[in-house]
Amino acid sequence: MPMEVPRIYLLGNLELRRGQRRLPDPPSESAKWLLAAVLLAQGGFLHRYRLSAEFWPQLSAAAARSAFDREYWRLREYCRSIGLNPDDFFCSDSNLIGLGVKARHWLDVGQLRQALADTATVAAELAGDDLVAAAAAAVALYRGDLLQRCCDPWCVAQRQSLQMGLLHLLEFLMRAAMARGQWRTALARGRQVLARDARRSYIYAELAQCQAALDSRPTLVAGHAA
C-alpha cells in the first residue's frame, strides 16, 4: 500500500504530518528554514550561494557555504528518516537547489496561493459555491503568519505577501456572503479583516450595510405578515 503524501504546514509554526500522525521536526532551525525556503520557491530553483549568505550573514562566504552543505546533508537524512527519498524530493547541483519533479507533498501555503489565483479574476458577487468554499477552506488553513519564529528577511517578505493575500480572501468571502444575503457571515468576515488591518476604512461602510440589513429583517417580516 503506497505511503500517504506528507502534509506540510508553514502557516504558524512548521509542522509535518502523515495522516493523523505528526512527524518529527527537522533536526535544526536552519534545516527547517532551508526546507521552507525550497518549498516556498514554488518549484523554482534557489542559488546555494545566495541562501548561504542569507542564512549565515555573520560568517565568511566559505564558512557560510560549509554551513549550508552541512544543513542540506542533515535535511536529506531527515527526509530519509520520515520515509521520503531525498533524491526525489530535492533537485540540486553545485549551484542550485529546488524541489524535485517527484516531490509529492501537500502544502498549506500552496492551497492559499491557489485560492488567491482562483479568486483574482472573479468578482466575489459572481463567485460560485465551489470557489467560495475553496476560499473559505484556504482561510481556515491560516493558523498563524508564515513561520512565526523566523525573523530572516527572506521570510519576512513572503510573510507580508501572504498576510495581504489573507486579507484579500477575507474581503472576497465577505462580499460573496453579502451577495447571498448571508449578513452574519459577512459581518464576521469583515470583522476579521478589521482585526488585522483597522485602516481599511471602507470595510466599516460595508459592515454598516450588513448590520442595517440584519436590523431591517424583523420589520420586513412583520410588514409581510400584516
pLDDT tens by residue, 141-166: 999 999 999 999 989 999 999 999 99
Q: What pLDDT shows up at residue 196? A: 96
Residue type, 201: S
Q: Above 80 in pLDDT, residue 3?
A: no
- Average pLDDT score over residue span 62-80: 96
Torsion (CA) 67, 68, 70, 71 in degrees, nearest 10? 110
User: Residue 218 has what pLDDT?
Assistant: 60
Check whether 221 has a pLDDT greater than 90: no
| Model confidence pLDDT, tens digit, residues 195-207 | 999 999 999 999 9
What is the SS3 assignment for 86?
A: helix
**What cell was used for 130?**
465551489
Quote the pLDDT of residue 2: 58
What is the model's pTM?
A: 0.89
Q: Which own/partner pairs from 20-27 qualify as long-range (CB within 8 Å, at least 24 positions apart)?
A: 23/82, 24/78, 24/81, 24/82, 26/74, 26/75, 26/78, 27/74, 27/75, 27/77, 27/78
Q: Please tell me the distance from the alpha carbon of residue 119 to that of residue 158, in angstroms, as a whole number.
A: 19
**Residue range 119-137: mean pLDDT, rounded:** 97
pLDDT of residue 4: 86
- Collapsing DSSP states into helix, strand and coil, what is residue 70? helix
pLDDT band at 31 (very low <50, low <70, confident <90, very high): very high
Cα separations in angstroms, 167 against 78, 173, 198: 35, 10, 11
Q: Which residues pair with 97 in a beta bridge?
A: 46, 92
How far is the C-alpha of 33 from the C-alpha of 154, rounded, in Å? 10
Domains of the chain: 7-99 (1.10.10.10), 108-225 (1.25.40)
Distances in Å between the alpha carbon of 51 and those of 47, 95, 159?
6, 10, 17
